[in-house]
Amino acid sequence: MLGRLNHVAIAVKDAEKAAKIYGAAFGAEISKAVPLPEHGVTTVFVTLPNTKIEFIEPLGDTSPIAKFLDRNADGGIHHVCYEVADIVASRDILIGEGARVLGDGEPKIGAHGKPVLFLHPKDFSGALVEIEQA
């Protein structure tokens, strides 16, 4: 069920500024900023040969990453995203194994136009997990 590591997300106050450092220092390919109002973040992706780094900054007054940035003023690793073949089937297996799905449990469209879900960090060794249908 567990597929490729799609991305590692780093929460920051300014995603474009953070990504530009990767562009300058590593010569990495940087995406345009994409606002995702439904998720309360703006994302900028850095493309690596085998995965991506997703910089996320708060969007709107009720961003789910606002508290994280209060605790981590310099930014920090926020979540890891794994690909799955069938997100609903994966969700149902995970729930059957006792994992908690965040929000209303229904997949939302993520930054790549594909359905995503978030899983409770307490069920995954303290790391917030996103799954994305590949």
Query: Which residues are near Co ion by CB under 5 A?
Result: 9, 54, 81, 130
Instruction: Choose among 78, 85, 74, 87: nearest CA to 40.
Output: 78
Q: Is 121 helix (H, G, I), strand (E, B) or coil?
A: helix
* Least distance to Co ion, CB of residue 62, Å: 18
For Co ion, the closer CB: 20 or 114:
114
For Co ion, the closer CB: 9 or 101:
9
Instruction: Choose among 61, 91, 92, 66: nearest CA to 12.
Output: 66
Active-site residue, from 54, 57, 130, 132 = 130
Active-site residue flag, 29:
no
Task: Determine contact, residues 56/111, Cβ cutoff 8 Å.
Answer: no
* Least distance to Co ion, CB of residue 20, Å: 19
Give dist(CA 13, CA 74) in Å, integer.
8
Which residues, 6 or more positions from 25, have their beta carbon under 8 angstroms from its beta carbon? Answer: none
* Least distance to Co ion, CB of residue 128, Å: 9
Give dist(CA 58, CA 104) in Å, integer.
21
For Co ion, the closer CB: 5 or 88:
5
* Least distance to Co ion, CB of residue 54, Å: 5
For Co ion, the closer CB: 44 or 96:
44
Catalytic residues: 130
